[in-house]
Amino acid sequence: MKAASRGQRPGTTLLPGLCFVWVWWAACASGQTPFDPGPLAPPTPNAPSLPPAPEAPAPRIHFAAPIHDFGRVVVGTVLRHDFYFTNTGTAPLEISNVHASCGCTTAGEWTRRVEPGQFGVLPVQLTTAGFQGMVIKTVTLSCNDPRQPNVTLQLRANLWTPIEMNPRYATLRANVERFHEARAVVQILSHEETPLRLQNPSCNNPLLKAEVIERVPGREFELVITPAGPTPTGNAQAVISIPTSSTNLPVLNLTALVLLDPVVTVAPPFIQLGPGPLPAAQTVEVSVMNNGTNRLQLSEVAVNHTNVTVDVQETRPGEYFRLQLHFPAGFQLAPGEVLALTARTSHPQHPLVRVPIAQVRTPAYPPQVPRPAPPVPASAAPQQAPPPVPPTPARPAAGPRPTRPPTEFPPLPGA
């Protein structure tokens, strides 16, 4: 054992530890936990809270079903639905505006004011013509509900075509000489489970007639449209109706168009040259086509200008002609000059072919005239010329820089 430090009695270092053990043993013998702070003070009851401030009266709009699904419907059906809403607030509800996302969706006369606890209605109509497959349209309602100033409603429909027609419009193109050769074919396809039966079609225009040909029994058909009357003098239109055995589409309606083309056509009908004078020679081609039943002949093909030449090529005899116009370099039309390509034909209804010729003119800009200087008023005193600035003396040429003597420091102490 080490010797005790100077000034300290032996054994005094264990006295504090023995005192602590004796106090702990006495507390345990008396049944009290050492260092027990005693029973806790009872909790202080909460202070009374203030009642919440009453809310200001406000309307509340509520839709039981903001989304309506029509399910599977036939294309072309007009769908209607009523959206019902309730005012669950404490102030009158006012509907200010209703806006649809598409022109095919319209809103009827809706309830514009609803008292608290009452309900209103918004009727909506959806036109399905021209759509196919799944269609989703929305309607936005504006009101004075502070929480929902705009409410979006949704309409859904799966548009189904039980009987499909392709194309949807029949077009017969011809001219007055070949109208009897016009013909249009429309494919009819049934998507129904039961076989389809088509009756004889009818047409409201005596110019056309229609016939149904069954390709696949009960499934696929062809509607053939041909001329039935005299040659029309212009374009015509007809509606063809076909009674069917379908409960979804008991009658098929198809629009047929008769478009008459001219017997003799010219392309292009107008020639426009670049601004003159032309920097280089230029060739322009004009086509003359005969769509009639008789052969066509051209004669006296020319341009009313001495410097322009025309070559005629008959690609298909009596039917197709190529006219090549050659313009020399430097060509330019005089102001007011009228130029045209002309040709005589053997057709009695089209005796003359005429193609106007024009040239782009560069706009002539007026010459730029220098703007005169503003006059000096007589009362203004003449300004004196500023004094001359003396010239800056030239710097002498830089010579060799003199060498500086080395800097001498005093000796360090003790050196």
Give per-residue pLDDT as tens, 340-381. 999 999 988 889 999 999 988 765 455 555 566 666 555 555
For residue 400, give both structure tokens: 């060799």
By mean pLDDT, which of 112-116, 269-273, 332-336, 390-394 is the weakest? 390-394
Q: Half-sphere exposure of residue 331, counting CA atoms within 13 Å on the CB side?
A: 23
Residue 386 has pLDDT above 70, yes or no: no
Measured in residues, the chain has a length of: 415
pLDDT for residue 197? 95
Residue 325 has pLDDT above 70, yes or no: yes
| Residue-range domain boundaries for the chain | 61-160, 163-260, 264-331+338-359
Residue 1 has pLDDT above 70, yes or no: no
Residue 89 has pLDDT above 90, yes or no: yes
pLDDT digits over 123-140, tens only?
999 998 878 889 999 999
Instruction: Name which of 66, 68, 63 is nearest 93 in CA terms.
Output: 63
The mean of the pLDDT values for the chain is 82
Three-state SS annotation for the chain = CCCCCCCCCCCHHHHHHHHHHHHHHHHHHCCCCCCCCCCCCCCCCCCCCCCCCCCCCCCCEEECCCEEEEEEEECCCEEEEEEEEEECCCCCEEEEEEEECCCCEEECCCCCEECCCCEEEEEEEEECCCCCEEEEEEEEEEECCCCCCEEEEEEEEEEECCEEEECCEEEEEECCCCHHHCCEEEEEEECCCCCCCECCCEECCCCEEEEEEEEECCCEEEEEEEECCCCCCCCEEEEEEEEECCCCCCEEEEEEEEEECCCEEEECCCEEECCCCCCCCEEEEEEEEECCCCCCCEEEEEECCCCCEEEEEEEECCCEEEEEEEECCCCCCCCCCCEEEEEEECCCCCCEEEEEEEECCCCCCCCCCCCCCCCCCCCCCCCCCCCCCCCCCCCCCCCCCCCCCCCCCCCCCCC
d(C-alpha 28, C-alpha 36), whole Å: 11
pLDDT for residue 3? 45
pLDDT for residue 176? 86
Alpha carbon dihedral 267, 269, 271, 272, in 10-degree steps, equals -120
Verdict on whether the full-model pTM lies above 0.85: no
pLDDT digits over 148-204, tens only?
999 999 999 999 888 989 998 899 988 888 888 899 999 999 998 899 999 999 999
Which of 3.40.50.11540, 3.40.630.10, 2.60.40.10, 3.40.140.10 would CATH assign to domain 163-260? 2.60.40.10
pLDDT for residue 361? 77
pLDDT for residue 415? 46
Residue 18 has pLDDT above 80, yes or no: no
163 touches 246 (CB < 8 A): yes
Homologous superfamily of the 264-331+338-359 domain (CATH): Immunoglobulins (2.60.40.10)
Do 163-260 and 264-331+338-359 share a fold? Answer: yes
More confident residue, 21 or 293: 293
The single-letter code of the amino acid at 182 is A
238 touches 205 (CB < 8 A): yes
CATH 2.60.40.10 fits 61-160, yes or no: yes
Residue 14 has pLDDT above 60, yes or no: no
Whether omega for the bond prior to residue 277 falls within 30 degrees of 0, making it cis, is yes
pLDDT for residue 4? 46
Residue 34 has pLDDT above 60, yes or no: no
pLDDT digits over 194-245, tens only?
999 999 999 999 999 999 999 999 999 999 999 998 888 889 999 999 999 9
CA of residue 381 relative to chain centroid, distance: 69
132 touches 86 (CB < 8 A): no
Please, which residues bridge with residue 353 across strands?
A: 343
d(C-alpha 317, C-alpha 294), whole Å: 11
d(C-alpha 185, C-alpha 201), whole Å: 14
Residue 67 has pLDDT above 80, yes or no: yes
